[in-house]
Amino acid sequence: MTDEINQALDRLLTAYRAGRTLALLADYDGTLVPIVEHPRLAVVAPDTRDVLKNLATVPRVVVGIVSG
C-alpha cells in the first residue's frame, strides 16, 4: 500500500508543479471524524480543522468535504 500511496503523491506533485489545480476531497463521517451516534456529535478536531484551513489557502488547491 505504501508504494501505491507514494506513487499517487508523486503524480499529484508532478501535476501541481506543472500548474494544474488539485482537488482534495475527504469524507466527513468515519474519515475526518469518528462515526458517532448522532450527526450533531460529529465534530472535526481543531488540529484537523487547521490542516484543512491551511490546505485551502494553498494556490490551485481546492478542498472539499463530502458526506452522505
Domain residue ranges in the chain: 21-68
- Cβ–Cβ under 8 Å, residues 43 and 5: no
List the helix and strand counts (H, then E) for the chain: 2, 2
Q: If you count them, how many residues does the chain have?
A: 68
Q: What is the pLDDT of residues 45-62, one digit of tens each?
A: 999 999 999 999 999 999
pLDDT at 1 over 90: no
Q: What is the pLDDT of residues 16-45, one digit of tens each?
A: 999 999 999 999 999 999 999 998 899 999
Q: Cβ of 15: how many Cβ atoms within 10 Å?
A: 13
Q: How far apart are CA 58 and CA 44, in angstroms?
A: 20
29 DSSP 8-state letter: B
- Cβ–Cβ under 8 Å, residues 48 and 32: yes
